[in-house]
Chains A and B, each alone.
Chain A
Amino acid sequence: MNTKNTKKQGLWSIMTPVNSYIRWAMVISALSGILSVVGFIFLAYVIGLIMGGSINLFGFKLGFQEALILLAFITILSFLTRFYSFVISHLGAFKLEQILRTDITTHLAQIPLGHIITLGTGAIKKVLLDDVKNLHAFVADTTPFLAKAIATPIASMIALFVIDYRLGLVAIAILLVGAVLMKFVMKDSVIHRENYEQSQSEINKAVIEFVQAMPVVRTFDDGTTSFRRYNDALAKYRTNLKAWFGATSTPAKIAMTILSPMPTLLAVTITGLFFLINGTLEFSPFVAALLVSTGMADSLMPLMWMSNFVKKSSAAAIRIQEIMDIPVLHISNTYKKIENTNIVFENVDFKYNEKDNYALKNINFEVKANTVTALVGPSGAGKSTVAKLIPRFWDVTSGSIKIGGIDIKEIDSQTLMNTVSFVFQDTFLFNDTLSNNIKMANPTATNEDMVQACKAAQIHEFILSLPNGYETMAGDRGTNLSGGQKQRITIARAILRNTPIVVLDEATAFADPENEEEIIKALANLMKNKTVIVIAHRLSTIKDVDQIVVFDSAEVKEKGKHQELLSIEEGIYAKLWSNYEKAQNWDIHHTGGAK
């Protein structure tokens, strides 16, 4: 995989794996274009042969019948080459789809998980499915078409010059006039296009806003505010697009007229007639010239249409490239075994992006094996980021994180994944039976192990109550499980996986209020004899943990046990705690009629 050093090279480079197919398809397609031109010329001479006589082709004398057979042969060949090139290009396209999808999915497994969470399933899926499909269209249909659309006019022009160079000059002259005009049309098109694209993206924004905000719009807006913004965007779009059309419409129409085949045909006919009359041109070459003279003009329209497809495919290629350009996680070649599960953060700095502010600054703390550490602090303070660094969702910007004295970058990813589980980051259930979903965490687990894990996760009874028990299908196409049930199944999975370190986000743990009691019991079982790091929101739950690390503005501000931290005067934790108690005891203060 050459993913590390690739720059954005766009459409053609992304097709490298199937280059041989594409080249071959293009060559053959070009050949089919040339064959049609040859066929047309030959046709003109064949008509001349009806009246008798023969032509001399490479030393063979051909009469009408022979010539007609040869013509039929050329036509068949033209058909076959066309067909063959389409088959090759399509096969190449299918192959490219497969290669790209395999490459991208492989790459996804090697980049930091954090990127995948940031990008989002929807966006990644779109790239894998739609963008790859778009490239398919380009490879399969556009490349052979392009080769033909370029080869045919060139062949026609050469043929025309061979038939009669004067007619060739006439055809070229007409095209030049058209091209100059076209240039005139395109003069300001960059600016207009930019304006247009900008106003188009404003429409997009306005639409998204309009759609997403609809509940708010309906309750808070009588239509004047949001609809005005939408209408403003529409009006701007109309103005810009009309300006573009207005500035270019007349020259565009002239260019379109001149570049259409008609003027070339007229010019060649008139000059051809003139040469016929003065005796410098014969009948068959004249007919041949009329048949091929418009080859250039004929190809222009299809080429213009194709630029649309090319643009669309380029955008797809860029999006694919963007994913492939995400650097893979550094993986050391010297794998080391983890002896114990002490976790140490040493001078850790972290930024999500180079341009961003520090999400973590100089973080130092230690988590002793088999103890519980809680991370607390206001939202955005950095506690979730710390948690994400341990399973290497992201890599530190500087400093190091060590497990059992070994830098986590020196631990191979599978070992690390088998050492740390980030509960609830993987609540996803596969479209498979419940038993496979649970057992996949540990391929050596027996059914008995699985049942034990499910009992510990408070989900065994529920699973048994399902008609198919452990063989019930889960996932998209399976049973509708509630959020809490899914969570407990994934807790069972985590229990079975039995990683010595458990990282847990309490906010996601209690996302489903109905199952709180069961989840609490399940979690308690999961945390038994583990090294636990918990991102805590309900401060009451962490009163008795071994260590509380308090974050504020990307830094560790306080460390210690609950009571120690409360005794710090003006301490951050103390303030958090008093806020917490206040919020817990709020009841809506309503002054109304009936009370």
Chain B
Amino acid sequence: MKKNQFASIYTIYKLTLELSGKYESGFKKSLVYFTLAFVFQGLAFGMFYPLLLAMFTTSPMLSDIMLYLGLMVLFSLLSFWAKWRGHDFDYNGKIVDVTHELRTKLGTALREMPQEKLSTYKTGELNSVFSSNVDESVLHMGMVASMFLQIVVVPITLIVVTFFVDWRLALVMFAMLPLAIPLYSWKRRGAHEEKSEYNQANGALESDFVEYIQGLPVLKAVNKVGVNAKKLQDSITYVKKVQKQGLYKGQIPFVLMGVLIEVTLLAIVFIGAFFVLDNTLSFITLAAAVIVISRLAEPLSIFLGVVSVFDLMDSAFKRIKSILAIKPLKVHKPLKAIKTYDIEFENVSFAYHNQPTYALKNVSFAMPNKTMTALVGHSGCGKTTITKMIMRYADPENGSIKIGGIDIKNMTPENLMKNISVVFQDVYLFDDTIMNNIRMANPNATDKEVENAANSAYCHEFITRLPDGYNTKIGDIGGSLSGGERQRISIARAILKNAPIVILDEPTAALDTESEVAVQSAIDKLVEDKTVIVIAHRLSTIAGADMILVIDNGEVVESGTHDGLVKTNGKYFNMWSAQQRIKDWHIVG
């Protein structure tokens, strides 16, 4: 157990060094200074032994007193100096550089990690790693290191000094003070045991909260709210019960640690008294020992206060590291550039991470250059997975995906993405001007080119009606853009990019009828002369496609043109006729 605790502190140390990156040597230097500072501090305290002895001998010599006092002041000044130098690392802003470097690295990791990996993180989770975790752990790095060194180095120095004064007292100190370590690990262990049961109880409580909040309309109707929500109340009470059980486990060592110094003092006086009565120890030395030991109370109590910060840093560091450790998908050699834009899937099989079933099974098809291919099928059948694979969301387990005859693994991500535009169902616009939102697709585009793209996407008109036209910031008008207008801006972006491959993933599904017509016209402009892959629920939308792939359960079950598929009387035909029937349905008043 003890070993584990040391290991955990050592791990934190290692992690700290790792995260300091190129500032590692600076951080190490500050650790050396801190160590020095606390050795000097221990020596300064240690001067109490000779000082008091010199003072209370039968014939005190002023020169001796001045000498030891001088040494005490000197050691104190040296300690101050070393501590100052140690704090250079945080106070002179190096620590800010560390956060900066770390965040830049994190940003790059985010940008480059496989999209599949990225999708396993929630936005809030990543946000807390990037902002608060980096701040909380790194900004306190110097402070915590100094505190930790203080409670280790000062007592050791004092024990060594005491050893030269009276080895028996040193032995007593040596027996008592390291007790802090088992107590500390006891506390951590207690906290840990308490935690696993507590986490479970909290997990159950969490899902009960979700249930309660989402089920409120129903619960209100049957009056199972507040104190009447029995299940929720039980969970709340259970959490309390678990906490109560853990209370003693966690607190006893904590409190014992708090009085450790007082107990040590008591022991020193008790044992020391025998030596004094034996005449083998002067009671002046004993008094000095008491003064010296009492100095350890302060760092220990601070340490107790920041133990939880330790845990916090530990987990923050680990989370940061786990993100940095994610490697981008490998780009295979030799690198090749795309010349034509036909897309080919060859026996592609793929399963999402941690999923038992295949999302795509042995999928093969070819989309010739500048044709339109539609993917249809039930939700969850694999349509979207196919579009994701084209963008190298993740690598397939088997098979290969080629664009213009070149495996996409042999392209840099930039090169691949340069050739693809996507229009999603959900539009994301940056809190920036409309001009910049469109231009991001092609930073070199002139204002005129941006306006042309906007014009083609049928948004020039409404943009010019905005107070600042193209320079209107999205954040300033926020909700006043309709879903259709936002979608048209995103299409303008795609038009400006002018990528030879266009992927449309239900681009009008979230829109009301009003906006739909304009967005539809914009899409017609976007797809001109491109290789197009489209997912659409309304089959009439894609009836004109050059090829329709019917996907079921991760497999291509039918393919052909609309007319051909309708004739085969298969799955596509069933879907088509169901949609025709629904068309005629209406509510009868």
Contact = CB atoms under 8 A, between A and B. Distances in A.
A426 B215 contact: yes
Contacts of A86: 251, 254-255
30 contacts: A48-B283, A50-B276, A64-B273, A82-B259, A86-B255, A102-B233, A102-B236, A105-B212, A105-B226, A109-B220, A203-B103, A211-B123, A212-B428, A225-B439, A227-B111, A241-B93, A261-B298, A372-B589, A378-B512, A482-B380, A541-B587, A583-B513, A583-B517, A584-B540, A586-B520, A586-B540, A587-B542, A590-B544, A592-B531, A594-B546
A2 B297 CA distance: 45
Given A145-B305, A541-B586, A590-B527, A430 B420 contact: no
Given A108-B216, A122-B124, A208-B127, 16 more contacts: A50-B276, A50-B286, A51-B283, A90-B251, A94-B243, A105-B232, A121-B213, A125-B209, A129-B205, A229-B432, A237-B99, A238-B99, A257-B84, A291-B294, A426-B215, A593-B369
Interface stretch (A71-79, A176-184, A453-461, A563-571): A71-79
Contacts, number: 435
Contact of B371 (A208, A270, A482, A593): A593
A592 B589 contact: no
Given A108-B216, A226-B430, A211 B269 contact: no
A242 interface: yes
B532 A542 contact: no
A283 interface: yes
A270 B214 CA distance: 69
B188 interface: no
Contact of A590 (B118, B372, B482, B536): B372
Contacts of A78: 259, 262
Interface stretch (A166-174, A400-408, A543-551): A543-551
Given A82-B259, A305-B302, A109 B513 contact: no
B351 interface: no
B239 A51 contact: no
Nearest to A483: B379
Which 5 residue pairs are nearest across A and B when measured between Cβ atoms?
A: A106-B226, A109-B225, A417-B221, A593-B370, A546-B589
A541 B585 contact: yes
A441 B221 contact: yes
Contact of B226 (A102, A283, A417): A102
B191 interface: no
Given A82-B259, A287-B291, A417 B220 contact: yes
B210 A589 contact: no
A592 B529 contact: yes
Interface string A472-490: 0001110000110000000
Given A200-B131, A266-B73, A428-B211, A47 B269 contact: yes
A391 B218 CA distance: 12
Nearest to A39: B262
Contact of B529 (A51, A277, A482, A591): A591
B436 interface: yes
A380 B482 contact: yes
B203 to A, nearest CB: 10
A394 interface: no
A298 B584 CA distance: 82
B184 interface: no
B523 interface: yes
Contacts of B221: 414, 417-418, 421, 441, 497
Interface residues of B, number: 174
B586 A542 contact: yes
A229 to B, nearest CB: 7
B513 A422 contact: no
B426 to A, nearest CB: 9
Given A87-B247, A121-B214, A593-B368, A207 B130 contact: yes
Contacts of A108: 212-213, 216, 225
A322 interface: no
B107 A230 contact: yes
Nearest to A246: B93
A15 to B, nearest CB: 16
Interface string A371-388: 110100011100000000
Contacts of B247: 87, 90-91
B158 interface: no
- Scoring A75, A210, A440 by chain B CB atoms within 10 A of each residue's CB, the highest score goes to A210
A97 interface: yes
A116 B216 contact: yes
B379 A234 contact: no
B418 A476 contact: no
B431 interface: yes
Nearest to B494: A220
Given A215-B428, A218-B417, A231-B104, A75 B127 contact: no
B7 interface: no
Nearest to B274: A50
A236 B302 CA distance: 33
B218 A428 contact: yes
Contacts of B84: 253, 257
Interface stretch (A6-14, A337-345, A462-470, A513-521): A513-521
A158 B223 CA distance: 60
B378 A68 contact: no
B295 interface: yes
B13 interface: no
B92 A245 contact: yes
Interface string A262-292: 1101100110010011000001000100110
B352 to A, nearest CB: 14
A362 interface: no
B162 interface: no
A238 B276 contact: no
Contacts of A378: 482, 512, 514
Given A78-B262, A210-B110, A257-B80, A113 B216 contact: yes
A225 to B, nearest CB: 4
A238 B87 CA distance: 18
B558 interface: no
B277 A545 contact: no
Nearest to B369: A593
Interface in A293-332: 294, 298, 301-302, 305-306
Given A209-B430, A441-B221, A543 B259 contact: no
B570 interface: no
Contacts of B72: 266, 269
Given A105-B225, A262-B79, A579 B524 contact: no
B517 A579 contact: yes
Contacts of A541: 585-587
Interface in B283-327: 283, 286-287, 290-291, 294-295, 297-298, 301-302, 305-306, 308-309
Interface string A496-526: 0100000000000000111011001000100
B161 interface: no
Contact of A298 (B206, B220, B301): B301
- Scoring B44, B93, B534 by chain A CB atoms within 10 A of each residue's CB, the highest score goes to B93
A425 interface: yes
B527 A47 contact: no
A83 B255 contact: yes
Interface in A184-226: 200, 203-205, 207-226
A261 B118 CA distance: 50
A416 to B, nearest CB: 9
B218 A276 contact: no
Contacts of B22: none
Interface in B224-279: 225-227, 229, 232-233, 236-237, 239-240, 243-244, 247, 251-252, 254-256, 258-259, 262-263, 265-266, 269-270, 272-273, 276-277
Interface string B113-129: 00100100101101100
A441 B218 CA distance: 7
Interface in A527-579: 527, 532, 534, 537, 539-547, 576, 579
Contacts of A218: 111, 115, 391, 413, 417
